[in-house]
Amino acid sequence: MDHLLMLLLLLWSSELQAEGNHTSTEAVRLVGGVSRCAGTLEMKHHGDWRPAHHYDWSMKEAAVVCRDLDCGSAVSIGDREESSDRSVWLIDSQCVYSGSALRDCLTSDSFSFTLDLTCSDSVRLVNGTSLCSGRLEVKSNQFNQWWSSVCEDDFDQQDAEVVCWELGCGAPSVLQGALYGEVEAPMWTKEFQCGGNESALLDCRSSGSDRNTCSPGKAVGLTCSEPVRLVRGVSRCAGTLEVKHLADWRPVLHSGWTMKEAAVACRNLDCGSVVSVRERKEYSWRDVWFIHYNCVHSGFTLRDCVTSASSSSIVDLTCSDSVRLVNGTSLCSGRLEVKSKQPNQSNQRWSSVCEDDFDQQDAEVVCRELGCGAPSVLQGALYGEVEAPMWTKEFQCGGHESALLDCRSSGSDRNTCSPGKAVGLTCSEPVRLLRGASRCAGTLEMKQREWRPVDGYLWIMKEADVACRELDCGSAVSIIHREKSSKRSVWRVYSDCVRSGSALRDCLASSSSSSIVDLTCSVTVSGFPGQRHPV
Domain 323-427, CATH: 3.10.250.10
Percentage of the chain exceeding pLDDT 90: 42
CB-based contacts of 262: which residues, under 8 Å, 6+ apart? 274, 276, 277, 315, 317, 319
Cα 220 from Cα 128, distance rounded (Å) = 12
Measured CA to CA in angstroms, residue 374 lies from 36, 204, 336, 362, 404 at distances of: 58, 56, 15, 11, 15
Give the residue among 165, 167, 160, 220 at the shortest CA–CA distance from 194.
Answer: 160
- Which residues share a beta bridge with 423? 380
Cα 215 from Cα 213, distance rounded (Å) = 7
Beta strands in 127-212, from DSSP E residues, in sequence order: 133-140, 146-149, 172-177, 192-193, 205-206
Q: What is the pLDDT of residues 59-85, one digit of tens each?
A: 888 898 999 899 999 998 887 777 777
Percentage of the chain exceeding pLDDT 70: 90
Q: Is the torsion defined by CA of 142, 140, 166, 222 positive or negative?
A: negative
Cα 46 from Cα 495, distance rounded (Å) = 40
Q: What is the pLDDT of residues 461-504, one digit of tens each?
A: 988 999 999 999 999 999 998 888 888 899 999 888 888 889 99
As its CATH architecture, domain 24-119 has Roll (3.10)
As its CATH architecture, domain 431-521 has Roll (3.10)
Can you tell me the mean pLDDT for 138-157? 83
Q: What is the pLDDT of residues 18-28, one digit of tens each?
A: 333 333 445 88
Measured CA to CA in angstroms, residue 115 lies from 56, 147, 238, 252 at distances of: 11, 27, 34, 20
Cα 412 from Cα 468, distance rounded (Å) = 45
Query: Would the pLDDT of 192 be above 90?
Result: yes
Least confident of 172-176, 294-298, 447-451, 484-488: 294-298
Q: How far is CA 19 from the centre of its chain?
A: 36
Query: Would the pLDDT of 352 be above 80?
Result: yes
Can you tell me the mean pLDDT for 125-142? 87
Give the domain 230-319 fold: Mac-2 Binding Protein (3.10.250)
Tell me the CATH class for 123-224: alpha beta
Q: Where are the CATH 3.10.250.10 domain residues in the chain?
A: 24-119, 123-224, 230-319, 323-427, 431-521
Least confident of 6-15, 246-255, 260-269, 350-359: 6-15
pLDDT, the chain, mean = 84
Q: How confident is the model at residue 12 (pLDDT cuts 50, 70, 90)?
A: very low
Q: How confident is the model at residue 4 (pLDDT cuts 50, 70, 90)?
A: very low
Measured CA to CA in angstroms, residue 511 lies from 212, 344, 490, 500 at distances of: 61, 47, 5, 21
Say what the alpha-carbon torsion angle 384, 390, 394, 397 is, to the nearest 10 degrees: -60
Cα 490 from Cα 450, distance rounded (Å) = 10
Q: What is the pLDDT of residue 341?
A: 61
